[in-house]
Chain A
């Protein structure tokens, strides 16, 4: 599939005022609001366009599977530092459009932090190039990063340039027996110290901590933490994949809520809390005992927000996946949406029911 085919489909849809549902791997059909519109399958627009290890960037077409990109990077000892989940099917476009990062986000930053440039097909079929392939570019508004997490509502990300980083030289995992409150307290304490923590995961009385970096730095941190806090070194590789891909039992349940909170938010004490990631900043609640309104309010009171991440369709339609926006922000969202997609044909309702 060539860019011109994508453009032609978009122009056709715009001419007929026909809503489109952009889809690549389809691995995220469960995520966000309702799925509506004619299927625009972009998975065939694929392939790595440029990869320059010494310039620290990779450019690829949207349908390129993440595994393909990661394999190319691994050959040069590099990685996508935000550690996106993929399940073998996820594509670059879907990864950036969904804006979801994995365990390493705590240390490295999120998807948006690594987006350098995009080629975008907007709702009128116009192709735009925003950003570029250099690390620093402040010419014009930063549209590339705006698109991370926009769930295909502003255009098709035909091509994306991401910043890549070297893989850490050494990596080790420690496991501690700690209750929720104690784990949170320690995570915040450690966060303020020069420790090479690259991931954390707490569930059911156990805290897992991954340390990455220079050989010597990892070794000395492991020794100190094991000695002072009783951590056990364990083989973490399978564990972190199960966290990234959410196959760990902590994520199982009919409903899965994702709460992004300030790291210092105390234990929520919710019946059925599944897991804590990102040094306390991300909390998963797997269960349906607590009503949606209560979860949203608890998250908001703590200064964060709650996403109905995975749930039966009926509930998703009823509650909306994402926390509602304050009125001035919603008005801004609507105007921005309109400027990229004047007819509102792109993924309508996938982000918010209002557009």
Chain B
């Protein structure tokens, strides 16, 4: 199979010489032990050492690095905090990692215009902290928000609990500054409600570092609601919880957050955070309401009525801010909590239409038997975004391979149920084969042409996000070989 690695051949010494001329010594790492911390992102199953790590401090340096790499034909992988879960920031063996960690300044918070201009290495939570004195905040709140950066959020179009009501990253970015692989600087979007020409902002957001390197981000800030309260409901059947989600939406309510955990997930988190979850329940729902006190009271009473009608076995409403945070603590800590009960876990990220929730969960239960691995489910129920946590032990032979196959099957089922292979973590290296399942050859060709319009030589993050058609053909054959070709209508060649 053609791989990205054998397409590029870099002269390591020549590259180091050129980079030394651009960057001061403290901004350039070339020794193996210094490179080690950069060998993977949050998806630790895939690792690679780059030839060098650049830590530029100015946009001019970014321009010089990219221009030089373009000249030398060297791959470049941009990196934020490295919390990505799809291997998007995994280095290229023949390339450079361009860490934006030192671009960590908040340049401007404009109270009246309700926006902030920040460098891409600024952490997500830091933006809300800087806006707090003005009664404003940045709405998209990935669970990793204390660590992940705005640059990474833009590249992954990250989501979070608030995204059901307040939108994803793409709905909350006004403008970005970008450096192309050829070292050209341009700005996309504006502080005005729209900008002339094609909506390149939509194209760049979620493009996984494949189209350009972001050096500045202007984000929208929204007024902090006066009050937030959460309703916690438990159900004795997962299907009922799924129907309750649909009933809330059907009642015309868009909560500020609507999250679900199944029994294995609550069992894992309760001893860890002591949130008071109903451990006998098959699933619990957390439904947040925010706004003015009058608004919240009205919504909470309507939500409670809907949940009761949907057959909730127990309903509790947070009576204080401390209690609200405690109800959420379990959901927010679900990943580390599961991490305590298993040596390793593999976090998936598919989306499905909400009405297929029960079906998906039943299928996952069957897969647990098939692959002989346990799985806990936490998800953004309001937008059908699942995060099955497949538990495995990397030290036991064969377990990772089974976990990987388990994950792939979940993603492929997501597509079949009318959903997508990723809702917020991106394709990266992880889901590259499943891209062949979600898209036909024709769409993949369009993606390749878009890529070429920005980066003709394919130097930015090669091998990620969009599979080569060659790779899809191989993946297709692999499935035929196992006699389980799932999408016979898809074109192959």
User: Footprint of B on A, CB under 8 Å?
Assistant: 52-56, 77-78, 99, 105, 109-110, 112-113, 122, 126-130, 132-143, 145-146, 148-150, 154, 165-167, 169, 188-189, 191-196, 213-217, 219-221, 260-264, 278, 281-282, 303-305, 307, 322-326, 328-329, 332-333, 335-336, 338-340, 351-352
User: Are A278 and B114 interface neighbours, CB within 8 A?
Assistant: no
Give the residue of A54, A282, A340 whose beta carbon is less than 8 angstroms from that of B249.
Answer: A54
User: Are A192 and B291 interface neighbours, CB within 8 A?
Assistant: no
Can you identify 5 A-B contacts, CB atoms within 8 angstroms? Answer: A55-B355, A135-B383, A137-B420, A138-B422, A339-B452
Chain B, residue nearest A130 (CB): B443
Give the residue of A109, A260, A278 whose beta carbon is less than 8 angstroms from that of B167.
Answer: A109
Asked if B91 is at the interface (CB within 8 A of a chain A CB), the reply is no
User: Are A138 and B426 interface neighbours, CB within 8 A?
Assistant: yes
Interfacial residues of chain B within 418-432, with CB under 8 A of chain A in the complex:
418-427, 431
Asked if B371 is at the interface (CB within 8 A of a chain A CB), the reply is no
Closest 6 CB pairs of A and B: A216-B294, A145-B202, A166-B252, A339-B449, A136-B423, A304-B192
A324 CA / B423 CA spacing, docked (Å): 35
Contacts of A262 in B (CB 8 A): 113, 190-192
User: Are B454 and A332 interface neighbours, CB within 8 A?
Assistant: yes
Q: From residue B206, how far is it (CB to closest CB) to chain A in Å? A: 5
User: Are B186 and A328 interface neighbours, CB within 8 A?
Assistant: yes
User: Are B191 and A146 interface neighbours, CB within 8 A?
Assistant: no
Chain B, residue nearest A329 (CB): B186
User: Are A142 and B202 interface neighbours, CB within 8 A?
Assistant: yes
Contacts of B267 in A (CB 8 A): none
A213 CA / B438 CA spacing, docked (Å): 38
User: Are B198 and A150 interface neighbours, CB within 8 A?
Assistant: yes
A194 CA / B424 CA spacing, docked (Å): 28
Asked if B99 is at the interface (CB within 8 A of a chain A CB), the reply is no
User: Are B384 and A134 interface neighbours, CB within 8 A?
Assistant: yes
A346 CA / B314 CA spacing, docked (Å): 58
Contacts of B427 in A (CB 8 A): 138-140
User: Are B170 and A216 interface neighbours, CB within 8 A?
Assistant: no
Most chain B CB within 10 A, of A136, A332, A336, is at A136
Contacts of A260 in B (CB 8 A): 190, 192-195
Give the residue of A166, A213, A332 whose beta carbon is less than 8 angstroms from that of B453.
Answer: A332
User: Are A214 and B422 interface neighbours, CB within 8 A?
Assistant: no
User: Are A54 and B250 interface neighbours, CB within 8 A?
Assistant: yes
Contacts of B250 in A (CB 8 A): 53-54
Most chain A CB within 10 A, of B134, B383, B444, is at B383
Contacts of A99 in B (CB 8 A): 194, 199
Q: From residue A185, how far is it (CB to closest CB) to chain B in Å? A: 9
Give the residue of A146, A217, A324 whose beta carbon is less than 8 angstroms from that of B200.
Answer: A146
Binds A, one of B74-82, B219-227, B334-342, B390-398: B219-227
5 additional contacts, CB 8 Å, given A154-B198, A191-B223?
Answer: A52-B355, A135-B384, A138-B156, A194-B223, A194-B224
User: Are A189 and B112 interface neighbours, CB within 8 A?
Assistant: yes
Asked if B482 is at the interface (CB within 8 A of a chain A CB), the reply is no
Interfacial residues of chain B within 394-450, with CB under 8 A of chain A in the complex:
418-427, 431, 434-435, 438-440, 442-444, 446-447, 449-450
Chain B, residue nearest A56 (CB): B249
User: Are A141 and B450 interface neighbours, CB within 8 A?
Assistant: yes
User: Are B438 and A149 interface neighbours, CB within 8 A?
Assistant: no
Binds A, one of B56-64, B274-282, B295-303: B295-303
A112 CA / B444 CA spacing, docked (Å): 22
Q: A52-B353, A192-B114, A214-B291 are in contact. Are A132 and B206 (CB under 8 A)?
A: no
User: Are B171 and A213 interface neighbours, CB within 8 A?
Assistant: no
User: Are A213 and B355 interface neighbours, CB within 8 A?
Assistant: no
Asked if B144 is at the interface (CB within 8 A of a chain A CB), the reply is no
A217 CA / B163 CA spacing, docked (Å): 22
User: Are B440 and A138 interface neighbours, CB within 8 A?
Assistant: no
Q: From residue A136, how far is it (CB to closest CB) to chain B in Å? A: 4
Interfacial residues of chain B within 207-247, with CB under 8 A of chain A in the complex:
207, 211, 223-226, 246-247
User: Are A139 and B199 interface neighbours, CB within 8 A?
Assistant: no
User: Are A132 and B112 interface neighbours, CB within 8 A?
Assistant: no
User: Are B298 and A281 interface neighbours, CB within 8 A?
Assistant: no
User: Are A333 and B354 interface neighbours, CB within 8 A?
Assistant: no
A247 CA / B157 CA spacing, docked (Å): 39
User: Are B157 and A138 interface neighbours, CB within 8 A?
Assistant: yes
Q: A134-B384, A305-B196 are in contact. Are A166 and B224 (CB under 8 A)?
A: no
Chain A, residue nearest B135 (CB): A192
Asked if B111 is at the interface (CB within 8 A of a chain A CB), the reply is yes
User: Are A110 and B353 interface neighbours, CB within 8 A?
Assistant: no
Chain B, residue nearest A100 (CB): B194
Asked if B184 is at the interface (CB within 8 A of a chain A CB), the reply is yes
Contacts of B420 in A (CB 8 A): 132, 134, 136-139
A307 CA / B171 CA spacing, docked (Å): 23
Chain B, residue nearest A53 (CB): B250
Give the residue of B164, B206, B226, B294 whose beta carbon is less than 8 angstroms from that of A141.
Answer: B206
A240 CA / B171 CA spacing, docked (Å): 25
A177 CA / B283 CA spacing, docked (Å): 54
Q: From residue A159, how far is it (CB to closest CB) to chain B in Å? A: 15
Asked if B168 is at the interface (CB within 8 A of a chain A CB), the reply is yes
A323 CA / B136 CA spacing, docked (Å): 32
Interfacial residues of chain B within 47-95, with CB under 8 A of chain A in the complex:
none
Q: From residue A182, how far is it (CB to closest CB) to chain B in Å? A: 14
Give the residue of A122, A192, A307 whose beta carbon is less than 8 angstroms from that of B196.
Answer: A307
Asked if B308 is at the interface (CB within 8 A of a chain A CB), the reply is no
Contacts of A52 in B (CB 8 A): 353, 355
A320 CA / B323 CA spacing, docked (Å): 59
A119 CA / B465 CA spacing, docked (Å): 21
Contacts of A324 in B (CB 8 A): 196
Chain A, residue nearest B245 (CB): A54
A262 CA / B443 CA spacing, docked (Å): 36
Chain A, residue nearest B247 (CB): A54
User: Are A145 and B170 interface neighbours, CB within 8 A?
Assistant: yes
Contacts of B364 in A (CB 8 A): none
A333 CA / B167 CA spacing, docked (Å): 27
Chain A, residue nearest B383 (CB): A135
Q: A128-B443, A351-B197 are in contact. Are A214 and B207 (CB under 8 A)?
A: no
Give the residue of A54, A127, A278, A339 whose beta carbon is less than 8 angstroms from that of B354.
Answer: A54
A136 CA / B169 CA spacing, docked (Å): 11
Chain B, residue nearest A140 (CB): B447
A231 CA / B225 CA spacing, docked (Å): 23
Contacts of A282 in B (CB 8 A): 193
Asked if B476 is at the interface (CB within 8 A of a chain A CB), the reply is no
Q: From residue A223, how far is it (CB to closest CB) to chain B in Å? A: 11
Q: From residue B115, how far is it (CB to closest CB) to chain A in Å? A: 8
Q: A129-B440, A339-B446 are in contact. Are A305 and B190 (CB under 8 A)?
A: yes
User: Are A139 and B294 interface neighbours, CB within 8 A?
Assistant: no
Q: A130-B443, A141-B450, A339-B450 are in contact. Are A329 and B197 (CB under 8 A)?
A: yes
